[in-house]
Amino acid sequence: MVGDLNNKSCVSCQGGIIPLPLDEANEYKKQIPKWDLTEQSSKLKREFKFEDFKHSLKFIDRVAAIAEEEGHHPDIEFGWGYARIYIYTHEIDGLHENDFILASKIDLIKY
């Protein structure tokens, strides 16, 4: 079921599927311990800290490249010295394996 998230790729997700139940989401979450389950476990969230705006923007550019490659796009807030990433599957308004795959790949970014 869970496997090594870093070696997986996001798959196209259509609406009409059921979001992951909390117990399955918690199993996936074990591979991305720095992320939080938020909004009644329907989203993943992580905040990153940087020394200035330029470094925040550089990080966001790298997140965007991964998101484009995976075809899975997070919600992003960033500014001087920080970035907040929110990941969920918009089509189902909840969590899917894709969300955990994207989070694990974002965790690999060196910053």
Reference 86, options 30, 33, 48; nearest CA is 48
Q: What are phi and psi of 75, to 5 degrees?
A: -90, 135
**Tens of pLDDT, residues 59-78:** 999 999 999 999 999 999 99
Residue 12 has pLDDT above 80, yes or no: no
For the whole model, what pTM was predicted? 0.91
**Tens of pLDDT, residues 13-51:** 777 788 999 999 999 999 999 999 987 889 999 999 999
Residue 2 has pLDDT above 80, yes or no: no
Q: What are phi and psi of 38, to 5 degrees?
A: -125, 175
Reference 106, options 73, 50, 52, 66; nearest CA is 66
Q: What does each C-alpha distance from 45 to 11, 84, 95 come to in angstroms?
A: 21, 7, 12
Long-range interactions of 56-59: CB distance < 8 A, separation 24+: 56/80, 56/81, 56/82, 56/83, 58/111, 59/83, 59/109, 59/111
Residue 5 has pLDDT above 90, yes or no: no
**Tens of pLDDT, residues 49-58:** 999 999 999 9
Q: What are phi and psi of 7, to 5 degrees?
A: -95, 5
Domain ranges of the chain: 43-111
CA 28 to chain centre: 12
User: What's the CATH architecture for 43-111?
Assistant: 2-Layer Sandwich (3.30)
* Dist. CA 71–CA 110, nearest whole Å: 21
